[in-house]
A and B are shown apart, each in its own frame.
Chain A
Amino acid sequence: AQSVTQLGSHVSVSEGALVLLRCNYSSSVPPYLFWYVQYPNQGLQLLLKYTSAATLVKGINGFEAEFKKSETSFHLTKPSAHMSDAAEYFCAVSTGANSKLTFGKGITLSVRP
């Protein structure tokens, strides 16, 4: 079985500060890992994904994430937060032949002026 843990429900940072959103996964086989962003009243949009190539993955809008097998983690970072980054962020895992995604419960990011 696969699962994702996103600790905490809300992160608040100042504009220009580092963004760090944590994600830990559980999987008995090598996983594919994803970060999605959801703006109010919109669907989910893919930020980045790890598919067993480079462990440091760069995505859209300046976000990146590093796959650490030893820590079973896939934390999302951005060096400098922008007001437009305020949204809900979901980490998800997929394994095996089926492309089924298992999502974490999400983290709401607020950006203070």
Chain B
Amino acid sequence: SSELTQDPAVSVALGQTATITCQGDSLRKYYASWYQQKPGQAPLLVIYDKLNRPSGIPDRFSGSSSGDTASLTITGAQAEDEAAYYCNSRDSSGNHVVFGGGTRLTVL
């Protein structure tokens, strides 16, 4: 079982805001990073170190954190944003990497 918990599925209407959450005790101390994975493709980093966006990632993707929960927000979701999203961080010991179980985002 993962130390980071994500909702299995989230849906959002086209053009609306989607929020995907990642919960875990370690997030009180460590930051989350987020990945987008489309079918048959490798994961793509979309947010790192809680709120930083790699070059080439649209600014509709943003990250935040509060307490034991990190959030990925997609403001104005597009059809191409339909994918699985994974968070990762460190475990409670700080010595290992952990991934959340993933959230499948559907854009309606």
Does chain A bind chain B? no
Interface positions of A (Cβ within 8 A of B): none
